[in-house]
Structure 1
Amino acid sequence: MADEVDLMSWIFEYFASSSTPEGELLMRPEDLMRAVVPVFPPSESHLVRDGYLRGERNPGDLRCSPSEFFMLFDVNNDGHISFKEYIFFVTLLSIPESSFYVAFKMFDTDDSGEIDKEEFKKVMALMRACNRQGANHRHGLRTGLKVNGSVENGGLVEYFFGKDGKDCLQLDKFVKFLRDLQDEMVRLEFAHYDYKLRGTILAKDFALSMVASADMTHLSNLLNRVDELNNKPHLKDVRITFEEFKSFAELRKKLQPLSLALFSYGKANGLLTQEDFQRAASHVCGVSLTDNVVEIIFHVFDSNRDGNLSLAEFVRVLHQRGRDIAQHVDTGIMVLD
């Protein structure tokens, strides 16, 4: 539990590249990007030849242009992001849209479709309380990190409510902001792997993006399967478009209904085919996956190399990226073996 309590603080300390004369650690916007986008070196780059270890994540070297969207978290325009603003950002990333909608409606007592600054702060505190790590930092304080003020007064509060804090926030505006934030994360990750700016990435890079969040106990085997794509003539030169990449990212958000459908179907009918997987993604989640994407998924998540999908492994790896399902795991509603 202690490790979980300190995880957010450790990540912040690891990536923060600046500090005040008083000793408060600070992130630059580019530090924030590196902290939240898990990546491997792109396969078309020179990084492996320059001495990077096989399978080494290098989050300190995100290969894409700076994001103007992330600059919004630098609320006082000093080029730095504090720990409390970082917590605010992580909370935003972890909010399932449906959960925020319910909380918003509860605090929108006059049913006007908007809430004021104080009501918003209560909603955000509630959202963070549902997350074990966020709850442990609900005041933005930790030994070794000098933080002034509470989390609720940081982040984008001024952006949403104006300098005087008297504007109101509409539900539709905030939901759009959350969706735009998720889309920006996907764009940054794709841009990182699109090393030669071709608008497409290799199948191997798509596979690396899928396993980038895997825990170390499974990572080596997964990377072996990623490397084996080089031995698949019909896959090694396949290139994945941004639309294909984005569709898979959308599927990650719906991992809970997808996994329920796949596990249920698998128990009733035995092995899952690639066509079964595509049908579940389309009919249950409303996400269309191309044949190339599904074939790469089946190749990477084939633990015993029998040509079939190892469904438990697929769900285990991807649930760390699926924010909705991560919330359920944290609260004990769903447990993955």
Structure 2
Amino acid sequence: MEGAAADATFEKPSFTERTVGNYENRLRKFSSPERVFEYFSSVEIDKQFFMTRDDLARAVTPYTYRHGAPLASKNPKFNAKASVQKNPKDVAEEYLRLVRKVLLDTPHVTPGDVAALLQFRDGHRVDFEMHGGPQRKKTFFDLVDADGDGLISYPEYMFFNTLLTIPQRQFELAFKMFDSDGNGKLDHREFKQVYYTIMDLMRLRTPAGRQDRSLQDDDAPIFKHLFGELATETLSYEAFCAFRRDLKQEIMRIQISFPLYLDPAVLSALHSSLWMT
């Protein structure tokens, strides 16, 4: 009976879904970080693409062969049928305008006014904060989004990707290598050397990685959260490891809360893969 219930809950994917899902799994595993970022990005601003929270969750979570799971790129570069999403800031402003119209600006609200508001809400992601609720406590996912615009840029994605994929031992060795004064702490300049050294090692792992574009010194906005707004603080190895652990926990939370149609076996495998490094 339990098996029958499971089969009813999780339908088998169609041939098209399986084909696209297999392609996306190969893309995640073998393609360069830049190509993965572009494929899963869904927001375009000034000809630059950015990831939303859901885009990032899809980029790091394998396809699970369940009918109805999110598939296909939302980037018109990879999918001609895709439509670029609005900047979340624009969506929030439009939603607040409609709410203000219904609650404040319209003396006699009609069913059509309410219907327009509900239609907009159902067609966009309107979360508790956008609706006027208090801002939630910052998570380490938000620290990856260094400028706080609700989007992940390519440099931010590379920093996130590097933290999750490089073994901790390599970070430890690089940390000690650039600790010039031997005090067990790095300043902002020394840590950037650690990061770019580790990122170069990651690129050398695969031919695709060697084709990835390089990042410049000003492409690391996340570091201000580790060293302060003016980059004058220092960072110990223990504090960095704590930051990395918390980031992994945040990604695990996103993967579990994201509607990926996962069964317990898949969730267990994802949890193990995140904590092995």
Structure 2 CA distance, aligned partners of 1:134 and 1:127?
13
Hey, what does 2:227 align to over in structure 1?
161
Q: Is the 8 A contact 2:41 2:52 kept in 1?
A: yes
Q: 1:97 to 1:12 in 2, by over 3 A?
A: same
Structure 1 gaps of 5+ residues are: 141-149, 196-200, 210-244, 255-323, 325-337
Structure 2 CA distance, aligned partners of 1:191 and 1:183?
12
Q: Does 1:36 align with 2:94?
A: no
Structure 2 CA distance, aligned partners of 1:168 and 1:8?
29
Hey, what does 1:121 align to over in structure 2?
192
Q: Does 1:190 align with 2:256?
A: yes
User: What RMSD, in angstroms, separates the aligned Cα atoms of the two structures?
Assistant: 3.5
How high is the TM-score relative to the length of structure 1?
0.47
Structure 2 CA distance, aligned partners of 1:152 and 1:185?
25
Hey, what does 1:179 align to over in structure 2?
245
Provide, for residues 120-170 of structure 1, a one-character-per-residue CA deviation record: whole Å limited to 9, x for no partner.
Answer: 111011111111255543623xxxxxxxxx266324111111221111111
Hey, what does 1:73 align to over in structure 2?
144
Q: 1:172 to 1:252 in 2, by over 3 A?
A: closer
Structure 2 gaps of 5+ residues are: 1-26, 75-126, 128-135
- Please state how far the C-alpha of 1:114 moved relative to its aligned partner: 0.8
| Secondary structure class of the residue paired with 1:104 | helix
| Secondary structure class of the residue paired with 1:123 | helix
| Secondary structure class of the residue paired with 2:143 | helix
Name the count of aligned residue pairs.
185
Hey, what does 2:48 align to over in structure 1?
24
Q: 1:136 to 1:89 in 2, by over 3 A?
A: farther
Hey, what does 1:267 align to over in structure 2?
none
The one of 97, 116, 119 aligned to 2:168 = 97
- Please state how far the C-alpha of 1:98 moved relative to its aligned partner: 1.2
Question: Which moved further from structure 2: 104-113 or 28-37?
Answer: 28-37
Q: Is the 8 A contact 1:91 1:134 kept in 2?
A: no
Q: Is the 8 A contact 2:70 2:260 kept in 1?
A: no
Bigger relative contact order (CA 8 A; separation at least 6): 2
Hey, what does 1:207 align to over in structure 2?
265
- Please state how far the C-alpha of 1:103 moved relative to its aligned partner: 0.8
Structure 2 CA distance, aligned partners of 1:78 and 1:193?
23
Q: Is the 8 A contact 1:33 1:70 kept in 2?
A: no
Map 1:126-137; keep pairs closer than 5 Å.
126-132=197-203, 136-137=211-212
Q: Is the 8 A contact 1:16 1:31 kept in 2?
A: yes
- Please state how far the C-alpha of 1:182 moved relative to its aligned partner: 1.9
